[in-house]
Structure 1
């Protein structure tokens, strides 16, 4: 065994030389999830964590789509049921129901909110030119929450705008 030859094969800092594994993607990554058999996605860089469904503490007089709040390591996180907010199917809580906790940082502050979805599906690698503008024909999801559409094999995935999702509780105060 030639130790010097083996040492020469060790990649130096910044090199990646593991065959068969692709560590670097050139596009952005999006976490996909389902709401009543429809596919949606959010920027994976905004995903703080994915939690199993647990009943949050109810906030009196809040809109029906705000399920309440949870304490996540000392941070009070509002929980929004996207099915109720967007009127997509019935709000039922099963073993696949999860809360996707998203944190969005803008120039002013950071905001963390949890969003109830039916199930998490996959992670998509998408080039920016693959994101198509959403048609303005009026679906369940208001256009300000849609960043675009992505073709993923046989499905069309609706890419949601995380910055605008974080404003959900401010724009609609009815129950």
Structure 2
């Protein structure tokens, strides 16, 4: 799968242009048929899927915990968060991120690429039917994927954590 942004920053005499300095990089990944992206600076590592240790009483969003070099990391299933059934496939990975002074893993269907987007390439999140905006959606970027245009839904992972229920928040709050 080949990804490219719809615009490319220019440079003069070998110096990056002002637009190039503002380009931010996002890790693009797939959940179901949609492409999502998170700020690459929040990503600690990408791991092949390992079945986490299940926590008694945790909801289906929380797959369990992993011991990552001595750090216990809660693992959340983004498919479930997006209203899709759990489905572990060949390309399934866990994206380990640093959020809200915590290390958290997110299970996704696969990672596609790292893409750079300038502010001009990002549209604001649309208003939803209830009159609000998806609080965890930062905006929408447009990419070329295998020669066709596709939306990249940019997520604010900190806000995504804020959407969790009380029991999941309690799991994240417990020092591990």
What is the TM-score of this pair, normalised by structure 1? 0.75
SS, match of residue 143 in structure 1: coil
1:162 aligns with 2:157: yes
2:94 maps to: 99
SS, match of residue 77 in structure 1: strand
1:112 maps to: 103
SS, match of residue 83 in structure 1: helix
The runs of 5 or more residues in structure 1 that have no matched partner are: 1-18, 20-24
Structure with the largest fraction of strand: 2
Structure 1: distance between partners of 2:160 and 2:67:
20
Structure 1: distance between partners of 2:48 and 2:162:
23
Structure 2: distance between partners of 1:112 and 1:148:
24
1:15 maps to: none
The runs of 5 or more residues in structure 2 that have no matched partner are: 1-13, 15-19, 169-176
**1:74-120 Cα distance to aligned partner (Å, 9 max, x none):** 111100001101203x2111220000001135xxxx21100000000
1:67 maps to: 63
Instruction: Compute the RMSD of aligned alpha carbons.
Output: 2.1
Instruction: Note if contact 1:111-1:166 (Cα within 8 Å) is conserved in structure 2.
Output: no
State the number of aligned residues. Answer: 143
1:83 maps to: 79
**1:39-79 Cα distance to aligned partner (Å, 9 max, x none):** 00000001100001111010011111100000111111100
Task: State how 1:19-34 maps to structure 2 within 5 Å.
Answer: 25-26=20-21, 27-34=23-30
Structure 2: distance between partners of 1:35 and 1:82:
7
What is the TM-score of this pair, normalised by structure 2? 0.75
Q: What is the CA-CA distance between 1:172 and the residue it aligns to?
A: 4.9
Structure 1 ranges of 4+ moved more than 4 A: none
1:36 aligns with 2:58: no
Range that drifts further, 122-131 or 40-49: 122-131
